[in-house]
Amino acid sequence: MNKRELTAFANKIGIEFNDLDKFKTALTHRSYLNEIDDSDQRHNERLEFLGDAVLELIVSEYLFETYTDRPEGELTSFRAATVKTESLAAASREMGVGDHLMMSKGEESTGGRDKDYLLANAFEAILGSIYVDQGYQKCKEFVVRWLLHKIDNIVENRLDIDAKTKFQELAQSLFRSTPIYKVLNEEGPDHEKIFTMAVVVDGQVFGEGVGTSKQKAEEQAAAHAIQQLHKKRKIARIA
């Protein structure tokens, strides 16, 4: 991606970088380095690490100052729902991050530009690059614009209650049975393992999910199962 394209995308998301190389790094997936000769190019994982910490502080601060009558447990739950992979991926899609990610052809061929975990990681990496380049206040402005508008809906509709808990309650109510989760597939190197999980009730598959950990894949499978129940689709058997 050239300087003009980087500048145009940065302007679109509301940031004027002093050092565009930081932004370029934030958009660079590890796999991309295997296909270029530029030894100075870095991938975005360190910026993601930093952005994760900055994001947690910004969201915590907002919740603390906005919902003054809510106990610590609820604030923690609201924060988790706000910064979960799906929420960050949705924000990245709204910004158009997927179209600007630099990744290997192999990663792209498997749908990398629209994978939730890659988009969520990129959101945190972009935030990390903003922090390094412009500081905390600019990070807050970015998060307010692209993420914090979702919190009121999360609080009002208790979207913080995780999908696994919701589906377990549904399964016990409808079928008088507790869901179990099964590994359907594991792939990728240890540092970037991808899991596919199924949620099963009485031998029947209700949903499948993919994630960078079993927990995340289970959560996605439960969310899928809830959607399936609402749509009253047929349920497949599992061996």
Query: Is the sign of the CA dihedral 185, 215, 161, 59 positive or negative?
Result: negative
User: Which entry of 124, 208, 218, 219 is annotated as an active-site residue?
Assistant: 124
d(CA 138, CA 15): 8
How far apart are alpha carbons 176 and 156 in whole angstroms? Answer: 29
Partners of 205 in the β-ladder: 200, 236
C-alpha count within 13 angstroms, C-beta hemisphere, residue 23: 24
Active-site annotation holder among 52, 116, 133, 162: 52
Residues 6+ apart with CB under 8 A from 47: 22, 25, 26, 124, 125, 126, 128, 129, 132
Is residue 187 annotated as involved in ligand binding?
A: no
Q: Is 157 annotated as a binding residue?
A: no
**Annotation marks residue 74 as catalytic:** no
121 in a labelled binding site = yes
Active site annotation includes 52: yes
Written as six digits, the tokens of 61 are: 């601060």
Q: Which of 97, 105, 101, 109 is nearest to 35 (CA)?
A: 105
Which residues carry a binding-site annotation for Mg(2+)? 48, 121, 124
Residues marked as catalytic? 52, 124
Which residues carry a binding-site annotation? 48, 121, 124
